[in-house]
Structure 1
Amino acid sequence: MTLVKFNADKKNNSSLLPSFNDVFESILNDSFFNDRLVARVPAANISETEDHYHVELAAPGLKKEDFKINLDRNVLHISVERQNESSDVQKNYSKREYSYSSFVRSFTLPDSANAENIEASYTDGVLKIDIAKREEAKAIRRQIDIK
Structure 2
Amino acid sequence: MTLVKRNEDFPMWPSIFNDFFGRNFLDFTSKNFSATNTTLPSVNIIEDNDQFMVELAAPGFEKTDFNIELNNNVLTISSDKKVENETKEGECYSRKEFSYQSFSRSFTLPNTIDGERIGAKYDQGILKVSLPKKDEAKPKPAIQIAIE
- What TM-score, normalized by structure 2, do the two folds share? 0.70
1: CA distance, partners of 2:117 / 2:79: 22
Aligned length: 121
Q: What RMSD, in angstroms, separates the aligned Cα atoms of the two structures? A: 2.7
**Aligned residue among 32, 38, 49 for 2:33:** 38
Q: Given the alignment of the two structures, is residue 114 of structure 1 paired with residue 114 of structure 2, yes or no?
A: yes
* Residue of structure 2 in register with 1:76 after alignment: 75
* Residue of structure 2 in register with 1:89 after alignment: 86
Structure having the higher strand fraction is: 1
Tell me by how many angstroms 1:108 deviates.
0.8
Deviation string, structure 1 residues 94-136 (Cα, Å, up to 9, x no partner): 3422110011000111000000000100111111010111111
Task: Give matches, 1:25-64, under 5 Å.
Answer: 29-31=24-26, 33-34=28-29, 38-39=33-34, 40-64=39-63
Is residue 121–residue 129 contact of structure 2 (8 Å, CA) maintained in 1? yes
Question: Unpaired runs of 5+ in structure 2?
Answer: 1-19
* Residue of structure 1 in register with 2:65 after alignment: 66
Is residue 83–residue 99 contact of structure 2 (8 Å, CA) maintained in 1? no
Q: Secondary structure at the match of 1:71?
A: strand
* Residue of structure 1 in register with 2:131 after alignment: 131
Question: Unpaired runs of 5+ in structure 1?
Answer: 6-28
Identity %: 41
Structure having the higher helix fraction is: 1
* Residue of structure 1 in register with 2:7 after alignment: none
Q: Secondary structure at the match of 1:65?
A: helix
